[in-house]
Copies of this chain bind each other. A is one copy, B any other.
Amino acid sequence: MKTTPYAKPIDHLIEALTRLPGIGKKTASRLAFYILRSGLSEAQELAQAILEVKEKIHLCSLCFNLTDEDPCRVCQDNHRNKEILCVVEGPNDLMAIENTVEFKGRYHVLHGTLSPLDGIGPEDIKIRELMGRLRKERISEVILATNPTVEGGATMLYLTELIKPLGIKVTRIAYGIPMGGEIEYADVMTLSKALEGRREI
């Protein structure tokens, strides 16, 4: 009789955990054994939480943020300036900006960037939906907060050309030296952008 090292249910769990990003075989084993040792209720809570996000979380029909209500809490918030729309690549970017507690407008989540090499065109991200909002809602400024990457830049250019003819102000977030960063160690591109974006003091 061949003895397989782990019992099947343990193998299953390790396998399922290994599918998560950044979780290798070793980490998966460690997590599996932790789950084995932990209380039943803790394991049930984790399993329940996994099922719950799949069941309850969907995209806001207005801004395409991840939400369990529709419209999402940001779109529902009447204290926000409805005339300013910040366009981001993904829900995580929205979160990062929310965390600053600086921005008081609303968002539009693209769910990606234009990337012809990967076959991602305007139809694959929420651009049509953005244009629909711009025509329907009374918006005076669109802040483009895509990432300073090739794809983010291409998306920004594409959107600028689409939005400007509507007579809406289009801005982008500032690029430059990150706070706490050191000029000495900044990469050439960042430093160029920081120089280019200099402001009178």
Interface residues in chain A, defined as those with a beta carbon under 8 Å from any beta carbon in chain B: 1, 3-10, 12-13, 15-17, 19-23, 27, 29-36, 38, 40, 42-57, 66-69, 72-74, 76-79, 91-92, 95, 98-99
Given A1-B76, A76-B1, A36-B57 contact (CB < 8 Å): yes
Distance (whole angstroms) from the CB of A15 to the closest CB of chain B:
8
Of the candidates B1, B32, B35, B66, the one whose C-beta lies within 8 Å of that of A7 is B66
- Measured between alpha carbons, how far is A40 from B50 in the docked complex, in Å? 10
- Is B67 within 8 A of A13, CB to CB? no
Chain B residues, CB < 8 A from A45: 16
Residue among A15, A54, A55 with the highest chain B CB neighbour number at 10 A = A54
Closest 9 CB pairs of A and B: A47-B47, A7-B68, A13-B49, A16-B49, A16-B46, A47-B50, A3-B73, A9-B52, A12-B49
Q: Which residue of B lies closest to A40 (CB)?
A: B54
Given A6-B95, A7-B57, A33-B91, A17-B1 contact (CB < 8 Å): no
Chain B residues, CB < 8 A from A56: 7, 9
Starting from the known contacts A1-B76, A16-B45, A16-B49, 7 additional A-B residue pairs (CB-CB under 8 Å) come to A5-B95, A7-B57, A9-B52, A9-B68, A10-B57, A12-B52, A40-B54
